[in-house]
Homo-oligomer: A and B are copies of this chain.
């Protein structure tokens, strides 16, 4: 095993440390966040700092870096209070990655990803994404320790490809085929090892 203690972590080259620390969580949720500003200019950005916050009410958290420079997605969310989350397919994950470039205009136009508009929700979705959901801003918390901004949002509408929805509400990711990320720039597909029964003392979990 290679070891890094706190002193070594502090003295690492900044790029090496950024890569290492971003890689430690392992596979992370990957979503394109669709927003638009009050004038209707759309924005699309790829995020992995996403966390399930609760199912009742249905809540999701997205962490943004410190709000010290222009951050279109965050500003649009604060302005309009709504955004969409859209999972990514392998066929267009390179375009999804490309949304991270410092584009002047709409990332949809720039990267070739297509806007999808749905009745009853102002922010744009990504056409062809098999897992899309629309969110309304509930609360914003700035973490004092590093000034990152935690957006807490309520899940208002969910769209899931039929082939990926099981009878019990779980999603079949082998069928959906969406992409996950490690670190800052590596993308992966998944392969299921199966589901396990509810954990109980004394009964070894079985495949379900």
Contact = CB atoms under 8 A, between A and B. Distances in A.
Given A9-B155, A17-B58, A99-B199, A25 B4 contact: no
Contacts of A106: none
A145 B155 contact: no
Given A98-B199, A182-B171, A131 B24 contact: yes
Contact residues of A: prevailing secondary structure: mixed
B204 A94 contact: yes
A203 B111 CA distance: 10
Interface string A3-42: 1111001101111111111111111111100000000000
Contacts of A28: 27-29, 52
Contact of A169 (B1, B16, B208): B16
A26 B24 contact: no
Interface residues of A, number: 115
A146 interface: yes
A81 B49 CA distance: 24
A160 B161 CA distance: 38
Contacts of A131: 24, 26
Contacts of A171: 20, 23-24, 182-183
B17 A159 contact: no
Given A94-B196, A141-B143, 13 more contacts: A1-B159, A5-B157, A6-B156, A23-B169, A26-B29, A49-B52, A53-B143, A59-B146, A102-B201, A104-B201, A179-B193, A186-B196, A187-B195
Interface of A: 1-6, 9-10, 12-31, 48-61, 63, 85, 87, 90, 93-94, 97-104, 110, 120, 130-133, 138-139, 141, 143-146, 148, 150, 152, 154-162, 165-166, 168-171, 173, 178-180, 182-201, 203-205, 208
9 contacts: A24-B52, A25-B29, A52-B63, A57-B146, A102-B200, A170-B186, A173-B186, A186-B196, A190-B190
